[in-house]
């Protein structure tokens, strides 16, 4: 194992599993170098179905260099509706070409506007909105430009094949590989990784600390103007901060507007109200990021202790495959779990080897039950270090989370094309392409 980059360690990613040198190079020289297409898992009725019974119009949008939240905001603005009436299954990278489903409540197909660098296809109607997670996975085609040592691809692939427990029968151009199922850097903020700090403060009932982690807390990777604005916010002069905050930082400005309205007499409820001024999906993201950070820390500790990822040990909790997954894509079903005891170890190991079961770790919430044995020791030690416990996620509104479990390894069939150097693979929902690609590039994740 190698140590991860400094900024990765800030979000709990401590290691690379591949010892081979990286290939270098750049991702996303242009949006077309990073193509993402949803593997859809959402049923619709015909577009002429009764709008009273099926009020949500479902569209497939191909976005070029669009942040998902920004697109939802632009679409709702053009339609003259609340941003909350636009829903989607998963947030995608901005500097990319992404194809995904959106639902829009209460509009007709002829209402859909034209937007720059967007192609929209009307799919049908639905009786409910698309919700986060309403997809099976994503298909990626990623081109690396100007790799410094492209021949290192083979050695890295061999390491990732070994991590997957594959015996080497694949070719370097078409291999089954695996990596730890880390949450990628973008989960926390690629330039300023702070969303988990906000979520951890919320879990500790520190609402003021949560706001300040987001509107204050300047980072040395930000532009000077932004750092200076955050420094003003840290003085508690909300109007002065609002006057200098860059216009494109709309979420911070929304929080500051709410604090200005409290007229200098803020209490815990005012700071919570400031957090509630941002879209509900961002409120949820703060808590999810805290859970993701703890999860990453647990995986890093498991790596450090040398415990396996694709086969269980006594004390682990495993989940089984989702029988409703599309053909060719294996999905973990975390609603079906089983604890690994001495008596069950051999049979569950066989299930894992055949791709029918997966070792998991917790996304901690109020209903979380921790593992036993050494895996449980790791989970409890990380929670102690972070200073939270499962009951801390019993919070109001969108900040509440019951938690779940998540597979600790992600496996995929990888195809590599050499000219230009392009990586093609599918991942289940919730897994990050950048977590696989970081093993190949081995450089600062902010070097695009």
Range of the domain at 237: 195-278
Contact 28, 448 (CB under 8 A): yes
Domain presence at residue 37? no
**Rounded-to-integer distance, Cα 81 and Cα 189, Å:** 28
Domain presence at residue 447? no
Task: Please state, as a whole number, how many other Cβ atoms lie within 10 Å of the Cβ of residue 65.
Answer: 16
Cα-trace Rg, the chain: 22
Judgement on whether residues 402 and 417 belong to the same structural domain of the protein: no
Domain presence at residue 354? yes
**Rounded-to-integer distance, Cα 142 and Cα 352, Å:** 29
Domain presence at residue 186? no
Judgement on whether residues 120 and 143 belong to the same structural domain of the protein: no
**H-helix segments, 96-206:** 153-164, 195-203
Judgement on whether residues 228 and 336 belong to the same structural domain of the protein: no
CATH number at residue 389: 3.30.2350.20
Judgement on whether residues 299 and 385 belong to the same structural domain of the protein: yes
Q: Which pTM does this prediction carry?
A: 0.90
Domain presence at residue 187? no
| Torsions phi, psi for 240 (to 5 deg) | -60, -40
CATH number at residue 238: 1.10.1510.30
Judgement on whether residues 210 and 230 belong to the same structural domain of the protein: yes
**Rounded-to-integer distance, Cα 9 and Cα 28, Å:** 23
Judgement on whether residues 322 and 353 belong to the same structural domain of the protein: yes
Judgement on whether residues 68 and 20 belong to the same structural domain of the protein: no
**Rounded-to-integer distance, Cα 264 and Cα 256, Å:** 12
Q: Which of 63, 96, 126, 81 is nearest to 186 (CA)?
A: 96
Domains in the chain: how many in total?
Answer: 4
Judgement on whether residues 200 and 83 belong to the same structural domain of the protein: no
String of b and e for 297-322 (b: at least 16 CB within 10 Å)? bbbbbbbeeebbbbbbbbbbbbbbbb
Convert the pLDDT of each residue in 284-329 to its tens digit: 999 999 999 999 999 999 999 999 999 999 999 999 998 877 777 8
Sheet holding 332-339, edge to edge: 332-339, 317-321, 357-363, 404-407
Residue 23's SS3 state is coil
The region, left, alpha or beta by phi > 0 then psi within -120 to 50, assigned to residue 367 is alpha
Judgement on whether residues 20 and 153 belong to the same structural domain of the protein: yes
Would residue 93 show up in a list of annotated catalytic residues for this protein? Answer: yes
Judgement on whether residues 162 and 224 belong to the same structural domain of the protein: no
The separation between CA 266 and the C-alpha centre of its own chain, rounded to angstroms, equals 33
Last residue within a domain, chosen from 211, 245, 278: 278
Judgement on whether residues 415 and 323 belong to the same structural domain of the protein: no
Task: Please state, as a whole number, how many other Cβ atoms lie within 10 Å of the Cβ of residue 358.
Answer: 30
The mean pLDDT value for 219-236 works out to 94
Contact 42, 130 (CB under 8 A): yes
Q: Would you say residue 51 has pLDDT above 70?
A: yes
Convert the pLDDT of each residue in 128-184 to its tens digit: 999 988 999 999 999 999 999 999 999 999 999 999 987 655 555 689 999 999 999
Convert the pLDDT of each residue in 325-339 to its tens digit: 777 788 899 989 999
Domain presence at residue 446? no
Domain presence at residue 291? yes
Share of the chain above pLDDT 90, in %: 83
Judgement on whether residues 127 and 15 belong to the same structural domain of the protein: no
Domain presence at residue 253? yes
**Rounded-to-integer distance, Cα 21 and Cα 314, Å:** 34
CATH number at residue 77: 3.30.70.3160
List the catalytic residue out of 6, 50, 70, 93. Answer: 93
């Amino acid at each position: 194992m190698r140590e991860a980059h400094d900024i990765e360690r800030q979000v709990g990613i401590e290691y690379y599993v591949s010892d081979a040198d990286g290939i270098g190079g750049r991702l996303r020289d242009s949006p077309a170098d990073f193509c993402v297409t949803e593997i859809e898992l959402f049923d619709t009725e015909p577009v002429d179905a009764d709008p009273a019974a099926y009020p949500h119009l479902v569209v497939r949008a191909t976005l070029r260099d669009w942040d998902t939240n920004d697109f939802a905001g632009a679409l709702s603005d053009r339609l003259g509706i609340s941003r909350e009436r636009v829903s989607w299954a998963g947030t995608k990278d901005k500097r990319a070409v992404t194809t995904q489903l959106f639902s829009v409540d209460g509009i007709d197909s002829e209402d859909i506007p034209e937007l720059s660098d967007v192609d929209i296809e009307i799919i049908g109607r639905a009786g409910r909105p698309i919700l986060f997670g309403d997809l099976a996975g994503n298909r990626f085609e990623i081109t690396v430009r100007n790799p410094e040592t492209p021949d290192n691809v083979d050695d890295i692939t061999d390491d990732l094949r070994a991590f997957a427990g594959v015996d080497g029968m694949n070719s370097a151009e078409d291999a089954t590989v695996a990596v730890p199922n880390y949450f990628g850097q973008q989960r926390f903020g690629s330039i300023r990784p702070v969303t988990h700090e906000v979520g951890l403060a919320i879990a500790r009932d520190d609402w003021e600390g949560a706001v300040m982690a987001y509107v204050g807390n300047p980072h040395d990777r930000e532009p000077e103007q932004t750092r200076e604005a955050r420094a003003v916010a840290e003085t508690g002069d909300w109007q002065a901060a609002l006057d200098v905050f860059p216009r494109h930082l709309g979420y911070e400005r929304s929080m500051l507007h709410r604090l200005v309205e409290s007229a200098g007499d803020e209490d815990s409820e005012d700071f919570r109200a400031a957090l509630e001024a941002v879209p509900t999906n961002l409120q949820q993201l703060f808590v999810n990021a805290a859970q993701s950070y703890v999860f990453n820390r647990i995986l890093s500790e498991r790596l450090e202790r040398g415990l396996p990822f694709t086969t269980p040990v006594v004390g682990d909790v495993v989940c089984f495959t989702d029988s409703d997954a599309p053909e060719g894509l294996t999905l973990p079903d975390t609603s079906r779990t089983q604890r690994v005891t001495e008596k069950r170890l051999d049979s569950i190991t066989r299930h894992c080897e055949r791709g029918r079961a997966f070792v998991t770790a917790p996304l901690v919430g109020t209903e979380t039950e921790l593992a036993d044995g050494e895996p449980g020791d790791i989970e409890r030690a990380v929670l102690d270090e972070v200073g939270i416990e499962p009951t801390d996620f019993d919070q109001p509104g969108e900040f509440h989370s019951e938690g779940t479990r998540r597979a600790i390894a992600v496996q995929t069939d990888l195809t590599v094309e050499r000219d230009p150097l392009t990586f093609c693979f599918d991942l289940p929902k919730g897994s990050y392409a950048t977590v696989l690609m970081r093993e190949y590039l081995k450089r600062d994740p902010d070097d695009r």
